[in-house]
Amino acid sequence: MSGGVDSSVAAALLKKQGYDVIGIFMKLWTEDRSGLSTTLEVKENICCSAEAATTARAVADKLKIPFYVVNFQDEFKKSVVDYYINEYEQGRTPNPCVICNRDIKGELLMKKVLDLEADFLATGHYARIDSKNRKYHLLESKDKNKDQTYFLWQLTQKHLSKLLFPVGEYSKSEIRRLAAKWHLPTAERKESQGICFIPDRNISRFLRRYAKKMLKPGPIIDTEDKKIGIHSGLIDYTIGQRERLGLGGPKANFVVKLESSINTLVVGDEKDLYSKTLFADSLNWIVTPPRKKTIGGKIRYGHRIEKCKIKNLSNKIKIEFVKPQRAITPGQSIVFYQREEIVGGGVIKESLK
């Protein structure tokens, strides 16, 4: 229970379905700026602040269920935040929510609830689970605009056998209406946006405090290896970016690559952003992957699912899209769908024309 409306309604739904429910609130890492030379206001993560904990406890009291607080600050810092910073320093754009769902919720929190002799861990994710022939299938939520399965591709059969996603059968508006109907304290609480451990949503400012390797200026080159400018530090750029490149002139330039090993920013025309082929590793298959078959692939959250084919290599896979995809970004996830089922995914390593 994060103190948000989704996890609150998830608990209420389960109780109404006859489950014996307990609420667990996770205290995760919050940046300590006390030793920093900054006048920035210290903001707690909206999902695990003192206010969120108070709200979550109020929901538990309303539902008359036990409430526990667990402290995962150190584990979250090491597994999620340090990973996030390191990936940026390597010139990649990571997805910390994927790692959190696997390592923090899927492992640490799961172990905690099983130690409490619970049968299942339920969360407020917009997703669904179905089981057939002793296999568990991860499905998109009924509300496609809120679907969160893209962030859940690292889950395994073991995880899914112990997980429940009660809100996956509802739309967001229905969840809000249920919260109001049941007079839950979270009925009108605003949603958290962006990365939870960067509550002011300023990724560049956060990385400037921690990813020092990314602060050094360096050359900007075009796709013909010609030097055309100086960048202010790779920390300020992402693939597909057009604004704030400092190049001037009438020509539109777009970031097409970050060469972190030589501290170089590569820019080109918009056409240079499109690729049909990518390579991925760190694979996880929730169910048996398809063989020589067209499948749906999504290269980032909010992106459309596009048709592609998968070729297995020795330690990675090659994905070929039917249509060129814009701004394929190393570090992001490629997630595979068969109709409404998520069959697995991987981490994007590189793309080719």
* pLDDT one-digit tens code per residue, 136-154: 999 999 999 999 999 999 9
CATH number given to 5-203: 3.40.50.620
Phi then psi dihedrals of residue 99, to 5 deg: -70, -40
Question: Where does the chain hold its CATH 2.30.30.280 domain(s)?
Answer: 216-268
pTM of this prediction?
A: 0.92
Q: Which residues contact 128 (CB under 8 A, 6 or more apart)?
A: 138, 139, 140, 141, 142, 165, 168, 169
Question: Where does the chain hold its CATH 3.40.50.620 domain(s)?
Answer: 5-203
Q: For residue 48, indicate whether it is catalytic.
A: no
Q: For residue 100, indicate whether it is catalytic.
A: yes
Q: How many residues in total does the chain contain?
A: 353
Distance, in Å, from the CA atom of 128 to the CA atom of 340, rounded to the nearest integer, reads 10
| Structure confidence by residue, pLDDT tens digits, 87-131 | 999 989 999 999 999 999 999 999 999 999 999 999 999 999 999
| Structure confidence by residue, pLDDT tens digits, 180-219 | 999 999 998 887 777 889 888 888 889 999 998 899 999 9
Distance, in Å, from the CA atom of 331 to the CA atom of 333, rounded to the nearest integer, reads 7
DSSP alpha helices (H): ranges in the chain? 5-16, 50-63, 73-76, 82-89, 96-99, 110-115, 157-160, 172-181, 203-210
Residue 248: pLDDT band with limits 50, 70, 90: confident
Domain 216-268 has CATH 3.40.50.1580: no
Question: Where does the chain hold its CATH 2.40.30.10 domain(s)?
Answer: 273-352
Q: Which residues pair with 325 in a beta bridge?
A: 275
Phi then psi dihedrals of residue 21, to 5 deg: -105, 140
CATH number given to 273-352: 2.40.30.10
Identify the active-site residue in 47, 48, 97, 196.
196
Identify the active-site residue in 47, 97, 100, 308.
100
Q: Which residues contact 54 (CB under 8 A, 6 or more apart)?
A: 3
